[in-house]
Amino acid sequence: MISFFNKRYLSVIDLLNTLFVVVVFVFFLFSLPRNPYAVWPVVVLVFSFALIGLAIFLRKNRKPGPPQNFWQKLGKIYLDFYPLIFMFVIFESFFMILPYFNPHDYDKELAAIDFRMLGVDPTVWIEHWVRPWLTDLLYLTYFIYYPFPLFILVYLYRKRAFTALDRSIFLLLVVNYGAYITYFFVPAMGPRYYEPIMQLQTKALNGIFLAVPIRNFIHIFEPNKFDAFPSLHIATSLTTMVIMFRYNKKMFLTFIPFILGIFVAVIYCRFHYVVDVVAGIVWTAVAVSFAGWFYDRQIRGRLRPYCKVEDDVERNF
């Protein structure tokens, strides 16, 4: 079966993306009795399949040597950024499916777990430290999470370490897709939207000049609000740190203050419960261990790295 895939220029990223689209489509089917969006989710999912097909087509038909014209250059750019483009498209479709798949949200239960563990509501307790300058700093830290994995991924790409890059993106996708699936079964919006806790929060997090624009940007570009448990800010950041530790320990040490800031920011900025953070840590440990083992045992040397074509010279890393 592996040789069958290899002949058709598939990568493990293509297979993983295809599997995830199928899973989301099944969730959509279960949401149909309550879903008001008719065929629009199907349009997005078909478009997601087209993105996978385009990557396979470009990988198979790219000519040897550097791109020679505009279309070849555009194709190379797409192939390089294809996992990011695909993940953005599929995530942006969740607001049309997730609330109708499982209409019960779990904010009450998650908030209760926090209170039983700590004896306080963390986002209320932390208000003792709210300062405008700190609010701006922590919102900025929270926002930097989005491009954070690119630091090590771009490093690996520039080093032409295609297998290491492929393995790293596989780990990140497994972590993200596993959390996405959990959102469908444990939907929660977090302390920023849970009314009983909002009534206890007395200090506005408006910062000086950064917090409000960042919060507005996140609100617009994350139409699905049921994404609290587990915390992907924690899970993705920790996964990125694991990748950095493996391939660039200097970069890993440089970003230790950032990861500590993320742990504080997700609570301070009211995006997550503490139990979301704990779940993010546990999920990272499980997913990274399994995905790393699976890639090394089943994929390495058998399927082509997602952005590597026949003529690419790869450096061992």
What is the model's pLDDT at position 1?
A: 43
pLDDT tens for 118-174 read 999 999 999 999 999 999 999 999 999 999 999 999 999 999 899 999 999 999 999
pLDDT on residue 317: 73
Q: Say what the pLDDT of residue 69 is.
A: 78
Higher-pLDDT residue of 310 and 112 is: 112
Question: What is the distance between the terminal CA atoms of the chain, rounded to a whole angstrom?
Answer: 27
Q: How confident is the model at residue 312 (pLDDT cuts 50, 70, 90)?
A: low
Q: What is the predicted pLDDT for the residue at 230? A: 97
Average pLDDT over residues 16-33: 94
Residue 179: which of 95, 104, 282, 81 has the closest Cα? Answer: 282
pLDDT bracket for residue 222 (50, 70, 90): confident
pLDDT for 261 beyond 60: yes
pLDDT number for residue 123: 95
Instruction: Give residue-wise pLDDT tens across range 29-76.
Output: 999 999 999 889 999 999 999 999 999 888 887 776 677 777 878 888
Return the half-sphere exposure (C-beta side, CA atoms, 13 A cut-off) of residue 307: 27
Amino acid at 110: L
Percent of the chain with pLDDT over 90: 74
pLDDT band at 100 (very low <50, low <70, confident <90, very high): very high
Nearest-angstrom CA–CA distance, 69 and 91: 32
pLDDT of residue 71: 80
| Residue partners of 23: CB distance under 8 A and separation at least 6 | 181
**pLDDT (0 to 100) of residue 310:** 61
Q: What is the mean pLDDT of residues 308-313?
A: 65
The pLDDT value given to residue 164: 94
Residue 4's pLDDT is 45
pLDDT, mean of residues 171-194: 96
Q: Which amino acid is at 148?
A: F
Q: What's the predicted TM-score (pTM) here?
A: 0.92
C-alpha span between 306 and 36 (Å, rounded)? 36
Output 223 or 285, whichever has higher pLDDT.
Answer: 285
Distances (CA, A) of 133 to 63, 144, 205, 214, 287: 52, 17, 10, 14, 36
Q: Per-residue confidence at 311, pLDDT binned at 50, 70, 90?
A: low
Q: Specify the pLDDT at position 170.
A: 97
pLDDT at position 64: 66
